[in-house]
Amino acid sequence: MTSTAATTAVVLKNKTVVYDINVPYNYDSRQTFATKYPHYLPTFDKIWFEPLPPFDFVDPALRADPIKPNFLGKGVTLRHITPRMGSIVDGIQLTTLSDAAKDELALLICERKVLAFPDQDFIDAGPQFQQDFMKYFGKPNYQPVSGTLPGYPGFHIIHREGNKEEIDNFLSKHQTTCLWHQDVSYERQPPGYVALGMLHGPSVGGDTVFAATDMAYKRLSRAFREKLDDIKVVHSSQKMCDHTAAAGGLVRKAPVESVHPLIRVHPVTKEKCIFINGEFTTGFQGMKDGEFKALTNFLLQHIIGGHDFQARVQWTPRTVVLFDNRSTLHTAVVDYLSEDNVAEPRHIFRLASMAEVPICVDASG
């Protein structure tokens, strides 16, 4: 998959410099790309988005029958990627789900955290259907800077092909292409459910790795957990927007800054989850910069190194992945490179559904 949390775009005539959260790359609209879905190539229309006002959110998972009779019906099977998180779902098409089945799907996403649906006709159902489907799970997110689809600003388009110069430059300075994050964590009501659709990808590679932040929290000592419970974190899109504006690029939304609990309580599972981000967190309230950096580095390394609470999703054609953005961190893996360090084509769309204001430990009852 891709990590899509922070992408900025600088438009220079037909050429666009895209600052992907993993590896920045050039995008030239005049180029012929090897995608099977050219109508899903990114566009950079000059649209202005006002801040999303506060809204009431009722998680559809809270309406679900825990037995899930409408979703886990005859012929539906789950193949678990790991014992505790991640499942591949066979025998059902997302386009056929009733509202009751969608509620049960939401509950299963909360329980398993990551669900992969191979060979879905959802991929060919068109942007209107796809957008409406994800609206069921929350308000659409409009990215301040990213490639999208004309008339469907909720789409975040991830497209990479070639990019040898950018990849070589990035890897000359960094040890890895991975950057662990939650999507759009700077919003007051960040996404709860996120969908990723594989339009075209490499024959192997380009996986997405997810880590369970509730299990990461449980692995810490009780004394340390109690200290984390009270910390408030500043999440901001200011740096991303400023960078783009300074380069003369396209910014479609004013910077957003929100203060969230470092430990959030999941509204469905009631588990405590570490809510931290390798891209958008800028400080801990009441702490000095050195303290913030030291604690952030410790928590991220703890999560990144926890292979016993991670799941790796391997993409296949027309796969749709639905994941819980509240109880996971994720990263794309940019390893789909030829011997010449040229990226094979990889084309994905993302739709994110905004949910509740993150619940702090004290407010959870």
What is the tens place of the pLDDT at every residue in 107-124? Answer: 999 999 999 999 999 999
Cα-based angle 315, 317, 323 (whole degrees, multiple of 5): 45
Q: What is the CATH number of the domain that holds 278?
A: 3.60.130.10
3 in any annotated domain: no
54 in any annotated domain: no
The pTM of this model reads 0.91
Q: Given this model, what pLDDT does residue 286 score?
A: 96
Cα 156 to Cα 88: distance, rounded to the nearest angstrom: 24
CB distance 71 to 97 below 8 Å: yes
Three-state DSSP at 157 gives strand
Residue 59's pLDDT band (cuts 50, 70, 90): very high
Residue type, 365: G
Residue 82 has pLDDT above 60, yes or no: yes
Three-state DSSP at 132 gives helix
Q: Name the DSSP letter for residue 358.
A: P
CB distance 5 to 182 below 8 Å: yes
353 in any annotated domain: yes
CB distance 121 to 93 below 8 Å: yes
More confident residue, 27 or 260: 260
Domain residues for the domain of 306 are 8-49+60-364
Question: Sheet containing 8-12: which strands, arranged edge to edge?
Answer: 8-12, 15-19, 25-28
The CA-atom distances, in angstroms, between 360 and each of 65, 264, 356 are 27, 5, 12
CB distance 141 to 184 below 8 Å: yes
55 in any annotated domain: no
Q: Given this model, what pLDDT does residue 95 score?
A: 98
More confident residue, 222 or 25: 222
Q: Given this model, what pLDDT does residue 15 score?
A: 53
Number of independent structural domains in the chain: 1
209 in any annotated domain: yes
Cα-based angle 199, 80, 264 (whole degrees, multiple of 5): 85
Residues whose CB falls within 8 Å of the CB of residue 138, separated by 6 or more in sequence, listed in order: 57, 191, 192, 193, 353, 354, 355
Q: Given this model, what pLDDT does residue 8 score?
A: 40
Residue type, 294: A
2 in any annotated domain: no
Residue 17 has pLDDT above 60, yes or no: no
Residue 10 has pLDDT above 50, yes or no: no
Per-residue model confidence as pLDDT tens digits over 340-352: 777 778 899 999 9
At 14, list the tokens: 């037909």
1 in any annotated domain: no
Q: Given this model, what pLDDT does residue 18 score?
A: 55
94 in any annotated domain: yes
**Average of per-residue pLDDT values in the chain:** 89
